[in-house]
Amino acid sequence: MQDKLRKLWRDWRGFLMFVAVMLVFRSAIADWNQVPSGSMQPTILAGDRIVVDKLAYDLRVPFTLTRVSHWSAPARGDVVTFPSPLDDRLFVKRVIGVPRDIVELRRNRLTVNGVAATYQALTKEEIAALPIDVPPSYDVFRETLLGSSRVIMVRRSPPPAYSSFGPVTVPEGGYLVLGDNRDNSGDFRRIGIVSRERVLGRAHAIAFSLNYDNYYLPRLRRFFTDLP
């Protein structure tokens, strides 16, 4: 039996070491994560495979949430990945509130620290250039607040209980996150504050993309592109 095990190790050790190195790399340095839902549309689409920089903020012990060293912190506007506080499913959302921020949402209009976001409706040409077909029941705006800007989607008649909250004071060591698809996102309004320990990294690019609604055909124009 020992001879068989030694032979098996000799034959497979190169492959096993490669797999081990890749697992450590993906756990602590960089990863590519599948996006299963449209909660971040139109920035990130269901079927995108996003590249996540896991050294953006700190260094973790592989396969754990334990930090070895810190050198930065998530900023407003960053797109981050984290395991959900409710069930540990991997989420990708945008940071809206950092520690000590006071955040309020009223009918999908944000106010942070007393500063109201501005909303500029996209033109028909800009909407046509988006990578998705916007449903007729949605409006698309460019939301600008405290130096960061993004394109968001909102329902024309949003659910009142879901499109408003706060004011909420973000606690130390916590972050308030929302999806860019404001009325179709399991974010702060469902999962609450995300602790700093749960933030795995910052998403910054799309490796490749498959169209789930069209026989998983590749969206070639989204391959190897930066997040807007």
**Global pTM value:** 0.89
Residue 26 confidence (pLDDT): 66
Structural domains in the chain, sorted by start: 30-226 (2.10.109.10)
Tens of pLDDT, residues 109-150: 999 999 999 999 999 999 999 999 999 999 999 999 999 999
The percentage of the chain sitting over the pLDDT mark of 90, rounded to a whole number, equals 75
Distance of CA 114 to the CA centre of its chain: 25
Tens of pLDDT, residues 16-67: 575 565 666 567 677 889 998 999 999 999 999 999 999 999 998 888 888 8
Give residue for tokens 């706060």. 166
How large is the C-alpha radius of gyration of the chain?
20
CA-based end-to-end distance of the chain = 57
pLDDT band at 84 (very low <50, low <70, confident <90, very high): very high
Tens of pLDDT, residues 167-185: 999 999 999 999 999 999 9
> Please, which residues have CB within 8 angstroms of residue 160's CB and are 6 or more apart in sequence?
107
How many residues does this entry show for the chain?
228
> Please, which residues have CB within 8 angstroms of residue 95's CB and are 6 or more apart in sequence?
74, 75, 76, 77, 78, 79, 80, 175, 176, 177
Beta bridge partners of 166: none
